[in-house]
Structure 1
Amino acid sequence: MAPSLNIIGAGHVGRVLGRLFAASGEFEVGAVLTRSAASAADAVAFIGAGQAVTDIAQMDRADAWMLAVPDDQIAAACARLAAAVPLAGALVFHCSGAKSSLELDAAAQAGALTASAHPIRSFADPDAVAHGFGGTWCGVEGAPGAIAMLEPALLAIGGRVAQIDASAKTVYHAAAVFASNYLVTVIDAALRAYQAAGIPEAAARELARPLATETLANVFRLGPESALSGPIARGDMATVARQQAAVATWDPGAGRLYEALAEATVGLAARRH
C-alpha cells in the first residue's frame, strides 16, 4: 500500500505535485487543506484524489506531509502542524525554492524527517505542467532520511533530482530569478529601446527574437564565455560609453541597468581571455 500524503496549501505547485504523486501511485493523497473550503474542493478535483478539509484538526496522521504554502507562511504552518498532529517518523517537506528545510524545524523537533523539494519551472499553467512534467529538475535538500523517501517519488513522476546545499538556498533561488525573471526584464529594456528608436512594438519583438534565441542557444551549447559577442567582447569601450550616455538620457532606469550589466559583462569578457 502506498504511503499516505496530506497536503497543506494546494496552489499551482501543490496541486500539480499532488496529482502526479497520486497518479504515479507513490503516495495515496489524503486530506487537502487550503485557505478556504472552496479552494480545497477545487484542488481535490484537480488532483483527482483526496478529501478537502477546512481545519488542520481534521487531518489524520500521515506518512508524509507536503507544505505548498507561500514562503513566508512555511514556518508558521509547520508549527501549527507540529502542535496538532504526531509527526515522529513522518516525512515533512515544503516546495519553496527560496527557503531551506530549516523552516521546518518545528517538525524536526517533533521527530519528523524534513526536506525541501523545488521543481525548477514555471507553474503558470498547472494543467500543462502536470501533463509535461517529465524531465523537470527538482532542487532537493534536507535530512538524509527525508531525501531517501522523497527522491524516489520525484523520479517516479518524471522529475530529475539535483541535491543542493541548504546553506546556499537563497543563492540557488536567485539563480532561477536571473535565468527567468531578470531575463524578461532585460528583454523588456531591449524592446523599449527599439521602440524609442521609432520601431513599432510588434516589429521590435521580431528584431529581438533571433538575437535572444540564438544567444541563449549559444550560451547553453558553448558556455557564456564563448557565447559573448558585441562591443565589450571586442574591447570597444568607447562604443559602450556612448551607448551608456544615450540610454541614460533616454531612460535613467534603463541607463542604470545598462551600466550594471556592462560592469558584469566586462568581468565575463575577462574570463573569456
Structure 2
Amino acid sequence: MLWHRFGHDPRAFALLDILNRSSVSAQQACDFIGAGKAAASFADLRQADVFLIASGDDQIAACCDALAAAGKLQHGSIVFHCSGALSSLELASASALGAAVASIHPIRSFASPQQVADSFAGTWCGSEGDTTALALLGPAFEAIGARLVAIEREQKTLYHAAAVFASNYLVTLIDVAQQAYVAAGIAPELALKLIEPLLSESAANAFRLGPATALTGPIARGDLATVARQLQALQQWRPQLADLYEQFATVTSELASRKKNS
C-alpha cells in the first residue's frame, strides 16, 4: 500500500496503489478503504512518498526486497509495516537505499476489521524506527485517533508476547473454561454466559485495582486443598489441561504473594 503526501499538511495523504497476492483481493481492499487503485505487480506501483508493507510477518522482508529491486525506493522514501512481532530491521533493504523505516503496531484485535476501523480513535500503537519516519507517521496516525507509545526495537518480540498473552491466550482460556463447564454437564451456550460475568468483572477489577489486589479464588485464599482436588479432576479428564492449570497455579501463587505483601 502506498501513499503520496498531499499539500503541506504532514497528516494528509492520498492513497495511490494497493498490491495484494491477487488482483481480486487488491480490489476488495480498495473497495473496503474507499480509495486507491489495484496494482498487478511491484513494477506497476507508482512512485510514492510512503510505503506500507501489510503482508504476513514471514513475507515482510521479501516484499521490501521486491520493492527495492523494482526501483521504487529512493533516499527520503518512507517504508513501514504494522507487525507487532517484528521490528523495523525487517526493512533493511529499504534502509540500504536511503529510505527511512519504522513499524507502527495497532494494539487491537482485528477479528472484525470494520469494527476496528469504526472505533479506531483512542487505539494504542506501539511505534519504533527511524526518527525521520516517525516524525511523519506519528502525526498521521494521531490524526486518525491513534495514541502512540514508543517501544524498544530490541524488545519487540517480548512486547508482542505481552499482546499474545492479553489477546490470543485469553480467547484460548475462555475456550478451555467452556470445555470444562461442558464436561461438567453444562450446555456450551450457557457455559459462555457463565464465563462472561466472571471474565468481565475480573478484568475490570484488575484494570481498576491492579492485578494483585483484584485476585480472588482458592489460591488467593490459601485454599490449597481445593487446588489439589481440581488438579486431580483435570488429570482424570484431560491431562494436558492439568499441566496448564498447574503452570497457572504456580504463577498465580506468585501473584497472591504480592497481594499479601501489598
User: Aligning the two structures, in what range does the TM-score lie when normalised by the shorter sequence?
Assistant: over 0.9
* Partners of 2:101 and 2:188 in 1: CA distance: 48
C-alpha separation between the residues in 2 aligned to 1:101 and 1:122?
Answer: 21
Question: By how many angstroms is 1:124 displaced?
Answer: 2.2
> Aligned letter for 2:92?
D
Could you say which residue in structure 1 is the equivalent of 2:90? 103
State the Cα distance separating 1:179 from its structure 2 match. Answer: 0.7
**Among 217, 239, 253, which residue is 1:266 paired with?**
253
Which residue does the alignment assign to 1:124? 111
Listed as ranges, the matches of 1:96-245 within 5 Å are 96-245=83-232
Within a 5 Å distance, the mapping from 1:71-90 to structure 2 comes to 71-84=57-70, 85-90=72-77
- Which of 21, 27, 41 is the aligned partner of 1:41? 27
Is the partner of 1:246 in helix, strand or coil?
helix
Q: Indicate the percent of aligned positions where both proteins have the same amino acid.
A: 54
Which runs of no fewer than 5 residues in structure 1 stay unpaired? 8-23
What residue is the counterpart of 2:51 in the other structure?
A: 65
Q: CA 1:25 to 1:143, structure 2 compared with 1: closer, same or farther past 3 Å?
A: closer
* TM-score normalised per structure 1: 0.89
CA-atom RMSD in angstroms: 1.7
Partner Cα separation in structure 1 for residue 252 and residue 11 of structure 2: 48
Which TM-score applies when normalising by structure 2? 0.92
Greater RCO structure (CA 8 Å; 6+ sep): 1
**Residue 74 (structure 1) shift:** 0.4
| 1:6 is the counterpart of 2:2 | yes
Greater displacement, 233-242 / 29-38: 233-242
SS of the residue 2:16 aligns to: strand
- 1:100 Cα offset (Å): 0.4
Residue 19 of structure 1 corresponds to none
Q: What is the CA distance between 1:60 and its match in structure 2? A: 2.2
Give the 3-state SS of the residue equivalent to 1:139 in structure 2.
strand
Letter in 2 for 1:41: Q
Aligned length: 254
Q: C-alpha separation between the residues in 1 aligned to 2:84 and 2:235? A: 34
Letter in 2 for 1:62: A
Amino acid at match of 1:124: A
- CA–CA separation in structure 1 for the residues paired with 2:111 and 2:221: 39
Counterpart residue number, 1:13: none
Paired residues of 2:60 and 2:91 also in contact (CA < 8 A): yes
- Residue 80 of structure 1 aligns with an amino acid whose one-letter code is A
Give unmatched runs, 5+ long, in structure 2.
4-9
2:7 counterpart residue number: none
Shift of 1:123: 1.9
SS in 2 for 1:239: helix
Would you say the 8 A contact 2:11–2:136 is kept in 1?
Answer: no
Task: Please report how far the alpha carbon of residue 148 of structure 1 lies from its aligned counterpart in structure 2 after TM superposition.
Answer: 0.7
